[in-house]
Amino acid sequence: MPINTPNLGLFDYNPITDGNLAFNITQALSNNFNVIDTAFGNLMGNFSGYLSGFTISNDSVSPNSIIDISSGICMDSTNSNFIKVVSGIKKSLSGNWVAGSGNTGLDTGSVAPNSEYNVFTIINPITEIIDNLLSLSLSPVLPFGFTLFRRIGSIFTNSSGNIIPFYQSGNYFYWKIPVMDIIAVMSTSARTLYKLSVPGAVPVIPIINIMTDASTGTNIITSPLQNDVAPTSSLFDTYGGSVGAFGYCSKHILTNTGQIGARAMNGSAQIFILTSGYIDFRGKG
């Protein structure tokens, strides 16, 4: 009699016991295909949000206008299909999208200064052509035939419309020149939100160093996703009890629209925030 394979339970013809028996090959194949399809569907669920590779960098020849995207593999944004890129792709901010590496990559419009561009890997599931696309939106205007995509990171332009130099290692993105984002006086009555040099389209973990003028008491740094709480003598990030004292800390918190919050116990307390980069999970669970 026929047997079943040990892992998927597929129909397996046994030549010793079934040598002279007739069987329905069409039904056997159909049953096997159904088992394989079910097993593959269950397996796909284990790869929800999967992403590996897709390292983004300034191009070595034209770093102000072109980015290089390395090979990689990921699930698309709907977690229904894999997108696999076997060789790197270059894309330019100089114009609207044209297929192929080395060509322009904007989904619409012209390059905008002082802006954040989301970088996407995209695929046409019919032709299986894979490319990259740059968009100011998390919902890019896809080229004709391209229906599946995945955000793989962000790049930023300066006041001249040039790509700000950075480097990436996995989910870690670093500015080649750290940015002194904030020099300000904190509020005492409520948290003040401060915008950092990090993506605003998605929550990220900023890589920051914080210094406060703590001579006036305690200060607290929070995520906008957390409650706004007043600092106390037992709940604080920085503290100083003498004139001219400064407090230092680093924080591991989540941004919201690229912002974090700060609040002082007493008036006239200053805050200084230096941003070295950020951690962007790029949709990975």
Whether residues 208 and 122 fall in one domain = no
**For residue 83, is it within any domain?**
yes
- Shared domain check, 198 and 154: no
Predicted local confidence at residue 48, as pLDDT = 84
- 102-129 pLDDT, tens digit per residue, is 999 999 999 999 999 999 999 999 999 9
Residue 244, domain CATH: 2.60.120
CB 205 within 8 A of CB 253: yes
Mean of the pLDDT values across residues 30-52? 67
Q: Check if the beta carbon of residue 24 is closer than 8 Å to that of residue 30.
A: no
Residue 2 belongs to a domain: no
What is the DSSP code (8-state) at residue 142? Answer: P
Percent of the chain predicted with pLDDT > 70: 80
Mean pLDDT for 95-104 is 97
Q: Are residues 161 and 226 in the same domain?
A: no
Q: Which tens digit of pLDDT belongs to each residue from 48-76? A: 899 999 999 999 999 999 999 999 999 99
Summarize the confidence of residues 222-241 as an average pLDDT: 89
Alpha helices by DSSP H, listed for 3-45, are 25-45
Binned at pLDDT 50, 70 and 90, residue 214 comes out as low
The overall average pLDDT reported for the chain is 88
Q: End of a domain among 127, 151, 168?
A: 168
Q: Establish if 25 belongs to a structural domain.
A: no
**Do 160 and 264 share a structural domain?**
no
Contact 210, 273 (CB under 8 A): yes
User: Both 196 and 274 in a single domain?
Assistant: yes
pLDDT of residue 19: 55
User: 74: closest CA among 116, 127, 123?
Assistant: 123
| 123 and 195 part of one domain | no
Q: Beta-carbon neighbour count of residue 40 at 10 Å?
A: 10
Backbone angles phi, psi at 63, to 5 degrees: -70, -20
Question: How far apart are alpha carbons 115 and 161 in whole angstroms?
Answer: 8
Give CA–CA dist 163/171, Å, rounded.
19
Gap between the Cα atoms of 257 and 126, Å rounded = 36
Check which CATH number belongs to the domain holding 152 and give it: 2.80.20
Whether 146 maps to a domain, the answer reads yes
On whether both 116 and 187 belong to a single domain, the answer is no
CA-to-CA dists, residue 186 to 17, 53, 170, 246, angstroms: 83, 40, 34, 14
Q: What is the pLDDT, as a whole number, of residue 239?
A: 79
The CA-atom distances, in angstroms, between 220 and each of 54, 66, 160, 191 are 36, 40, 36, 9
User: Do 267 and 195 reside in the same domain of the chain?
Assistant: yes
Verify that 148 and 214 share a domain, yes or no. no
Residue 201 within a domain: yes
Residue 233 structural domain: 177-279
- Shared domain check, 209 and 185: yes
Answer whether residue 136 is part of any domain. yes
Map tokens 């006041």 to a residue.
159
Structural domains of the chain, count: 2
Distance CA 73, CA 34 (A): 26
Tokens of 63: 């770093």
Residue 1 and residue 31: Cα distance in Å, rounded?
16
Instruction: Dump pLDDT digits (tens) for 162-209.
Output: 999 999 999 999 999 999 999 998 888 999 999 999 999 999 999 999
Sorted by sequence, the CB contacts under 8 Å of residue 78 that are 6+ apart come out as 148
Are the C-beta atoms of 51 and 84 separated by less than 8 Å? no
Q: Longest Cα pair distance anywhere in the chain, in angstroms?
A: 98
Residue 29 lies in a domain: no
Task: Of 251, 135, 115, 123, give the one whose Cα is nearest residue 182.
Answer: 251
